[in-house]
Amino acid sequence: MKLLVVGGGGREHAIIKKLKENTAVDVIYALPGNGGMMDDAVCVDIKATDIEGIKAFAVEKQVDYVVVAPDDPLVLGCVDALREAGIPAFGPDKKAAIIEGSKVFSKNLMKKYGIPTAAYEVFDDAEKALEYVKTAPLPTVVKADGLALGKGVVIAMTREEAEEAVISAMKDKKFGASGDQIVIEEFLEGPEVSVLAFTDGKAMVPMVSSMDHKRAHDNDEGLNTGGMGTIAPNPYYTEDIAERCMQEIFLPTMNAMNAESRTFKGCLYFGLMITKDGPKVIEYNCRFGDPETQVVLPLLQSDLLTIMQAVTEERLSEVPVEFSKDAAACVIMASDGYPASYEKGFEITIPDAMKAHVYVAGASFKDGKLLTNGGRVLGVTAVEKDLRSAIKASYDMVSEIHFDNAYYRHDIGAKALKVLEG
Ligand code: AMP
Ligand code: GLY
């Protein structure tokens, strides 16, 4: 079989490595992929947002199945375009991807169907929003409506910060049209849990839970990033909480999307906060999380391609989706300075023996050398019997990998260990 994966980061590398476990797979094209994936995929320099280019390539190569991993091509309708060309693809169509593409849509959906989330107001007028933040309870959370490369959320501790966030999104257009509307919402408190779930609109099958570490520096200090590391399973996600999430959030979301004629087929990502009033939705993503995928898929024991095809064909309930009881930890090795400015082009050395566990997020391959080429460079994952061992094994690998200017957090999983071990 010929597969194609749209995207080029660590998440895509993890998906590709898992897909390759199926012996029917002959080749996987990655569009655009990156220089660190070349042992696992044929990388082709077509951008993930070039929908026509992706479609033309898939048709030309007679690709059997496509996985669209990132948010922007999904929101742009990549799966719809491939379907028109008769090529089956994993991921929601444009109508369903709006659950991530518009925060106004997702908040209104939750309100309409009684799905627990932070209280909120929507604004399309900057003056009204500025008026509102004069009296809103602090801290307050200001969110751009549309996609903003993970930077569209500001937790404002003061009125000045809230005003600044409104002005930068609505007046200065920092996120372009994504800031035409904003959501201002209640600040929630509690541990965060990420749950990725396969769904075909009929069945909802959550994967093992995980915990992201979004801040750049140790002890959750510094700027928000795409994610500096993950662990799975998340100890805050107890069986009781899982059952509540299924009944109060996951199934109601699937049913709500069906009722809106926006059946969601793909991987639905629930960003949850376990508040004192129970689990609430912080955000939906219409795709696998990055770097959640780098700990979740290594624990998947069933065949990923079989599951994905079953999702596309609406027979998810017929295939096994099983996870190991082990624990996984992923430490992101980034370029110092990320998520602000950083230098690129440093040589990366990874001992051959550990390459199976290293997901390459931002690298190029030049003159026989692997070079850093992004903010997040590598995701170093270890799977062990328990979380403590997985964290240790991951950091042991990190210590043997080298590139100049490497930066990583030293406390990935520390909070989770405290919950587990007291
Ligand atoms: P997002 O970009 O939507 O993933 O949001 C980034 C982070 O902001 C989340 O992971 C939360 O830590 C935080 N956040 C978002 N919304 C809220 C909220 N209503 N209350 C508290 N924290 C929030
Ligand atoms: N790690 C968070 C995300 O993928 O959005």
CA–CA distances in Å: residue 81 to residues 33, 42, 89: 20, 22, 10
The ranges assigned to domains in the chain are 2-94, 125-180, 192-318, 327-421
To the nearest whole percent, how much of the chain has pLDDT over 90?
Answer: 96
- Of ligand 1's listed atoms, the one at least distance from the Cα of 212 is 10
pLDDT tens digits, one per residue of 81-122: 999 999 999 999 999 999 999 999 999 999 999 999 999 999
Q: Compute the distance from residue 224 Cα to the ligand 1 centre, in Å.
A: 10
Q: Report the pLDDT averaged over residues 190-196.
A: 97
Q: Give every CB contact of residue 390 below 8 A, 6+ residues apart in sequence.
A: 231, 326, 327, 328, 329, 382, 383, 384, 413
CA–CA distances in Å: residue 330 to residues 38, 55, 100, 327: 21, 33, 25, 10
292 lines ligand 2 (CB under 6 A): yes
pLDDT tens digits, one per residue of 217-272: 999 999 889 999 999 999 999 999 999 999 999 999 999 999 999 999 999 999 99
Q: Compute the distance from residue 120 Cα to the ligand 1 centre, in Å.
A: 13
Q: Are 167 and 127 in contact (CB under 8 A)?
A: no
pLDDT value of residue 273: 98
**Which helix or strand (DSSP H or E) is residue 335 part of?**
strand 327-335
Separation CA 169–CA 161 (nearest Å): 12
- Among 351, 346, 386, 388, residue whose Cα is nearest residue 363: 346
pLDDT value of residue 353: 87
Q: State yes or no: pLDDT of 192 exceeds 90.
A: yes
CATH C-level class of 2-94: alpha beta
Q: State yes or no: pLDDT of 307 exceeds 90.
A: yes
How would residue 189 be classed by pLDDT, with cut points 50, 70 and 90? very high
pLDDT value of residue 333: 98
CATH number of the domain at 192-318, out of 3.20.20.10, 3.40.50.2300, 3.40.50.1820, 3.30.470.20?
A: 3.30.470.20
Q: Whose CA is nearest to atom 19 of ligand 1?
A: 187
pLDDT value of residue 149: 80
Q: Whose CA is nearest to atom 4 of ligand 2?
A: 289
377 lines ligand 1 (CB under 6 A): no
Ligand with the closest atom to the CA of 120:
1
Q: Compute the distance from residue 420 Cα to the ligand 2 centre, in Å.
A: 24
pLDDT tens digits, one per residue of 36-89: 999 999 999 999 999 999 999 999 999 999 999 999 999 999 999 999 999 999
Q: What is the CATH number assigned to the segment(s) 327-421? A: 3.90.600.10
pLDDT value of residue 61: 98
CA–CA distances in Å: residue 199 to residues 103, 264, 359: 20, 7, 25
Q: Compute the distance from residue 283 Cα to the ligand 1 centre, in Å.
A: 7
**Which helix or strand (DSSP H or E) is residue 30 part of?**
strand 27-32
Q: Whose CA is nearest to atom 8 of ligand 1?
A: 153
141 lines ligand 1 (CB under 6 A): yes
Q: Compute the distance from residue 227 Cα to the ligand 1 centre, in Å.
A: 13
Q: Quick one: residue 339, left, alpha or beta (phi over 0 = left, psi -120 to 50 = alpha)?
A: alpha
pLDDT value of residue 77: 98
pLDDT value of residue 17: 97
Q: Whose CA is nearest to atom 6 of ligand 1?
A: 153
pLDDT value of residue 355: 85
150 lines ligand 1 (CB under 6 A): yes
Q: State yes or no: pLDDT of 422 exceeds 90.
A: no
CATH C-level class of 125-180: alpha beta
Burial group, residue 269, by CB count within 10 angstroms (0-12, 13-18, 19+): buried
Q: Report the pLDDT averaged over residues 266-279.
A: 98
32 lines ligand 1 (CB under 6 A): no
CA–CA distances in Å: residue 280 to residues 119, 186, 207, 275: 11, 12, 18, 7
The 3-state DSSP class for residue 371 equals: strand
Tell me the two tokens of residue 226: 């795409």
pLDDT averaged over every residue in the chain? 96
Q: Compute the distance from residue 7 Cα to the ligand 2 centre, in Å.
A: 14
CA–CA distances in Å: residue 152 to residues 8, 139, 146, 155, 252: 22, 16, 8, 10, 26
Q: What is the dihedral of CA 63, 69, 217, 170, to 10 degrees?
A: 130
187 lines ligand 1 (CB under 6 A): yes
The 3-state DSSP class for residue 3 equals: strand
Q: Whose CA is nearest to atom 5 of ligand 1?
A: 153
Give the 3-state secondary structure percentages of the chain, helix then strand then coil, rounded to 5: 35, 30, 35
Mutate to test the pocket of ligand 2, among 12, 74, 195, 269 (most ligand atoms within 8 A of CB): 269
289 lines ligand 2 (CB under 6 A): yes
Q: Angle CA(188)–CA(192)–CA(198) in degrees, nearest 5?
A: 120
Phi, psi of 300 (to 5 degrees): -75, 125
298 lines ligand 2 (CB under 6 A): no
pLDDT value of residue 356: 84
Separation CA 87–CA 278 (nearest Å): 41
Separation CA 33–CA 364 (nearest Å): 10
pLDDT value of residue 150: 76
pLDDT value of residue 415: 97
